[in-house]
Chains A and B, each alone.
Chain A
Amino acid sequence: MKLIAGVDIGNSTTEVALAEIDKDNVTRFISSSITETTGTKGTVQNVKGVITGLNKALDNVGKSLVDIDHIRINEAAPVIGDTAMETITETIITESTMIGHNPDTPGGEGLGIGTTISLEDLENNIVEDENYIVIVNSEIDFETAAKLINRYIDNITGAIVQRDEAVLIQNRIDKVIPIVDEVMYIDKIPTGMKSAVEVGPVGKTIKTLSNPYGIANIFSLTPEETRNIIPVAKSLVGNRSAVVIRTPKGDVKEKVIPAGSITIYGNSGERKVVDIDKGAEEIMNVVNSIENVRNIEGETGSNVGGMLNNMKSELSLTTGQSMRDIQIKDILAIDTFLPVTVKGALAGEVAMEKAVGIAAMVQAEKLPMEKIAVELENKLHINTVVAGVEAVMATLGAWTTPGCRLPLAILDLGGGSTDAALLDEKGKVTSTHLAGAGGFITMMIDSELGLNNISLAEDIKRYNLAKVESLFHMRLENGEILFFDEPLEPKLFGRVVVCRDDEFVPIESSHSMERIVEIRRNVKKEVFVNNAVRALKKIAPLGEIRNIPNVVMVGGSALDFEIPEMVMEELSNYNIVAGKGEIRRVEGPRNAVATGLVMSGVGVL
Chain B
Amino acid sequence: MKKPCIVIKCGTNYSECHLKEIVAGIEEEGVLYTTIDVEENSDPIDLAVKAANMSPVEVGIGLQNNTAVLTVVKLNNRPLFYTDEKYRVIGQNAARYVKGRPFIPM
Contacts and interface: CB of A to CB of B under 8 A. Distances in A.
Interface of A: 104-105, 142, 164-168, 171, 469-472, 487, 490-491, 493-495, 506, 508
A490 B30 contact: no
Contact of A165 (B28, B75, B99, B102): B28
Interface residues of B, number: 19
A495 B103 CA distance: 9
A494 B29 contact: no
A270 B30 CA distance: 66
Contacts of B96: 494
A136 to B, nearest CB: 14
A493 B103 contact: yes
A491 B106 CA distance: 10
A27 to B, nearest CB: 57
A168 B27 contact: yes
A164 B28 CA distance: 8
Interface in B48-106: 72, 74-75, 78, 80-81, 96-97, 99-103, 105
Majority DSSP secondary structure for residues of B touching A: mixed
5 contacts: A165-B28, A167-B29, A167-B30, A493-B102, A493-B103
A494 B100 contact: yes
Nearest to A472: B74
B32 interface: no
Nearest to A167: B28
B72 A105 contact: no
B101 A171 contact: no
Leading 10 A-B pairs by shortest Cβ distance = A494-B102, A167-B28, A494-B101, A495-B102, A168-B28, A494-B100, A490-B103, A168-B24, A168-B27, A493-B103
Contacts of B100: 469-470, 493-494
Nearest to B88: A164
Contacts of A168: 24, 27-28
Nearest to B93: A490
Nearest to A142: B24
Contacts of A493: 97, 100, 102-103
B40 to A, nearest CB: 27
Contacts of A472: 74
Contacts of A469: 100
Nearest to B78: A487
B103 A494 contact: yes
A490 B80 contact: yes
B72 A471 contact: yes
A278 to B, nearest CB: 40
**Residue among B24, B28, B97, B100 with the most chain A CB within 10 A?**
B28
Contact of B27 (A167, A470, A487, A508): A167
A116 B38 CA distance: 47
A237 B75 CA distance: 40
Given A490-B103, A493-B103, A470 B24 contact: no
A104 B29 CA distance: 9
A487 B96 CA distance: 17
Contacts of B28: 105, 164-168
B29 A105 contact: yes
B103 A487 contact: no
A171 B27 contact: yes
A487 B74 contact: yes
Contact of A471 (B75, B81, B99, B101): B75
Contacts of B80: 471, 490
Given A471-B75, A493-B100, 7 more contacts: A105-B28, A105-B29, A105-B30, A165-B28, A167-B29, A487-B78, A494-B103
